[in-house]
Amino acid sequence: MQGFFLLVFHSFLIVQGMTQMTSLTTAQLLTTRRSQKLVQAPGPNVEQLQQMLAAAVCAPDHSALRAWRFALVMQPEIAAFTDLAIDATRRSGREITEQKEQNTRKWLSTVPLLIGLAYKISHDNAKVPEIEQTLSMGAAVMNIQNAAHLMGFSSYWSTGLGTYTDEVPEALGFDTLDYRFVGFLAIGTPITPANPVQRPDAMALTTRWRP
Ligand SMILES: Cc1cc2nc3c(=O)[nH]c(=O)nc-3n(C[C@H](O)[C@H](O)[C@H](O)COP(=O)(O)O)c2cc1C
């Protein structure tokens, strides 16, 4: 498995160029991130990808379960993976219209990198109920998204592409009895500037308890 990742990282280094680093402050970083679906090459190089994954494994982790798992799907394999995901979704009984299929193929044709996201379930863990395991995985994914943003990339978390089939996670090495598969991050260079977005007023969502 180690060899696999080294091989993948190495080929990625050859294919992808460097991406410009930005100099956002931490606060700006956290409040300017937008999910952008449409991305293109260059994707992260080996070092950048390693930094993103290193950020992921800094997520809060009750009982140090180290349950996070990541499966890389990179160009030029993304078209074959798209075939697999579309076929698996149809086989599972979910409908995909011709239009949806075309849109999905078009979207993924320019995406340099997909990261499949899963965590190993700690079954019947009295100390760490599964909600906490799920939250830790979500925090790990968020760290990747913020790291990607810091490096000038955009990312997009999708639970399409056969996420809720058995076949797609299993094709990535995640037996669904042992792993919870939570989707994909598509990562690359944004094709257009992000649309401005009105974020909610955080204080309107916040209360202060008093006795
Ligand atoms: C777990 C999870 C799964 C998601 N799956 C999808 C999806 O399948 N399709 C989709 O259009 N958006 C999906 N989203 C939403 C986008 O990733 C994104 O968060 C949303 O468009 C808001 O953009 P923002 O991050 O810039 O606020 C998902 C978000 C989360 C947290």
What pLDDT is recorded for position 10? 30
Structural domain contains residue 26: no
The residue segments making up the domain with residue 62 are: 44-180
146's torsion region: left (phi>0), alpha (psi -120 to 50) or beta?
alpha
Does 109 contact ligand 1 (Cβ within 6 A)?
A: no
Residue 138 in any domain: the answer is yes
Half-sphere exposure of 46 (CA within 13 A, CB side): 11
The rounded mean pLDDT for the chain is 90
Confidence at residue 26, expressed as pLDDT on a 0 to 100 scale = 83
Give the CATH number of the domain where residue 172 resides: 3.40.109.10
Q: Does the pLDDT of residue 209 top 70, yes or no?
A: yes
62 assigned to some structural domain: yes
Supply the pTM of this predicted model. Answer: 0.90
- Residue 144 in domain: yes
Q: In the structure encoding, which two tokens stand for residue 200, read together?
A: 């909610």
- The verdict on the CB of residue 12 being under 6 Å from ligand 1 is no
**Burial per residue of 201-211, b for 16 or more beta-carbon CB atoms within 10 angstroms, e otherwise:** eeeeeeeeeee
The answer, yes or no, to whether residue 13 has pLDDT greater than 70, is no
158 CA to middle of ligand 1, Å?
6
To test the pocket of ligand 1, the residue of 32, 37, 135, 158 to mutate (highest count of ligand atoms within 8 Å of its CB) is 158
Measure the N-to-C terminal CA separation of the chain; round to a whole number of Å: 55
Residue 42 CB–ligand 1 contact under 6 Å? no
Total residues belonging to the chain? 211
Q: Is residue 190 part of a domain?
A: no
Query: In this predicted structure, what is the pLDDT of residue 121?
Result: 98
**Average pLDDT of the residues in 145-151:** 97
- The total of structural domains in the chain comes to 1
- d(C-alpha 153, C-alpha 39), whole Å: 8
The residues facing 74 across adjacent strands are 113
pLDDT of 140 reads: 99
**Residue 69 domain-assigned?**
yes
Q: Is the pLDDT of residue 4 over 70?
A: no
Q: Would residue 161 count as lying in a domain?
A: yes
Residue nearest to atom 31 of ligand 1 (CA): 157
